[in-house]
Chain A
Amino acid sequence: MTTDIRARVRAIVAEQAMVDPSDVTEDQTPADLGVDSMGLVEAIFAIEEEFDIRVPFNANEPTKSGFDISSVGAIVAAVERLVAEQKG
């Protein structure tokens, strides 16, 4: 399950960054991958659709949204937590 979520999140981020999923590493930030704020909003939408979850995120105060977007690994962890909370 955890591996599955990781792969699916990485695929979504890779699609947004227009790179191969194998080129996405856990320590990269969205900015490292060339994903801007609107790209991030679209990636979060894709995550919500993929996992059928609701992601709290306000682009005006990204650090206060309770959804850690500081790196790909952080996003994976945040999605794992939301899936456990909302689908568990």
Chain B
Amino acid sequence: MAEQPIKVVVGKPGLDGHDRGAKVVARALVEAGMEVVYLGLQQTPEAIVAAALEEDADVIGLSILSGAHMPHFRRVKELMDQQGLGDRLLTGGGIIPTKDQETLSGMGVGKLFGPGDDPQMIVAYIREWVKEHPRA
């Protein structure tokens, strides 16, 4: 049986309009053979997690460059845990200071990427993570 492609929900929570990075990454993931559900702008954490649930996604990727990363990542992670998606990867990128990345990592959020990081690093990270965390 053919292997299922990795499914990634990509969204921009909050009011940040900078979608260049999210779009470039979404395309790189597709070219790497993953399935991407691109939600676009102005998403609430609730809508993002609902989409991930409906799509049975392996990964949620958030892009935030506006400085509002803490409450959004926190809320999305909470909702994932509550709705039975605690075993899926929450990752993302934007302008996120190292200190905040560490706090988020302590809450179970995956690796976060920043300016200058190559999209291929994200592809490799997601592949590796999914391989190491087979679904029960």
Mutual binders A and B? no
